[in-house]
């Protein structure tokens, strides 16, 4: 696992890159990098009794979801956009930062203690990020508590934890085996990655 000095060195050498860039004084911690909440929020449309196979490679979610871009909504002067998450509500969002991870590192995304104590789950079950990943990170957000939670784009909401892997993967393996590279929306049709043995 990468600690504070490792993370600072990786950032300074641009071995890990972020767009927009992070502020190391505020976002690099003892063993993680804080990432900020983006502006897109995708919800499943109400469809009582509707059943899908989430692992169906041909499933296209686009007719069954609705996405709000809070960055495009006009607001009165001085007001910041926010998304209110009701108790037991589930929504997909993404990090404000696009993240570029090199082939010799893997990562995990986790929520923060502060959010968790209010019942906020940031990553439902899939925290792992593969070596060579490039893109914004989709957040699987759920309100497990009893309060309505106000989510503010641009605020720190999750932590990126980096690990060095024993043998770096090749660029070809990254290209062949990645499913969600450079995704533009939180919920997209999945590209199924297949390894090509060498």
Q: Which of 108, 144, 131 is nearest to 178 (CA)?
A: 131
Q: Which of 100, 108, 79, 91 is nearest to 20 (CA)?
A: 100
Task: Dump the DSSP string for 28-67.
Answer: B-SS-EEEEB-SEEEEEPP-TT----TT-TT---GGGEEE
Q: Cβ distance 85 to 141 under 8 Å?
A: yes
Q: Which of 2, 24, 30 is nearest to 12 (CA)?
A: 24
| 140 in catalytic set | yes
Which position among 57, 89, 97, 140 bears the catalytic label?
140
Q: Which of 103, 137, 122 is nearest to 18 (CA)?
A: 137
Which CA distances in Å does 166 have to 1, 33, 103, 135, 163? 12, 22, 11, 23, 10
Catalytic residue set: 140
């Amino acid at each position: 696992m990468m600690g504070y000095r490792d993370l600072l060195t990786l950032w300074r050498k641009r071995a890990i890159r972020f767009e927009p860039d992070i502020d190391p004084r505020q976002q690099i911690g003892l063993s993680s990098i804080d990432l900020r909440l983006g502006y897109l929020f995708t919800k499943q449309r109400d469809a009582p009794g509707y059943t899908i196979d989430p692992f169906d490679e041909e499933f296209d979610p686009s007719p069954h979801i609705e996405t709000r871009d809070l960055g495009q909504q006009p607001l009165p002067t001085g007001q910041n956009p926010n998304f209110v998450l009701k108790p037991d509500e589930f929504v997909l969002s993404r990090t404000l930062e696009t993240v570029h991870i090199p082939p010799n590192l893997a990562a995990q995304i986790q929520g923060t203690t502060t959010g968790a104590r209010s019942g906020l789950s940031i990553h439902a079950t899939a925290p792992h990020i593969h070596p060579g990943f490039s893109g914004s990170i989709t957040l699987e957000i759920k309100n497990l508590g009893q309060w309505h939670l106000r989510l503010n784009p641009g605020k720190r909401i999750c932590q990126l934890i980096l690990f060095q892997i024993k043998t770096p993967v090749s660029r070809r393996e990254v290209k062949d085996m990645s499913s969600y590279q450079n995704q533009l929306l939180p919920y997209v049709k999945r590209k199924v990655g297949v390894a090509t043995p060498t």
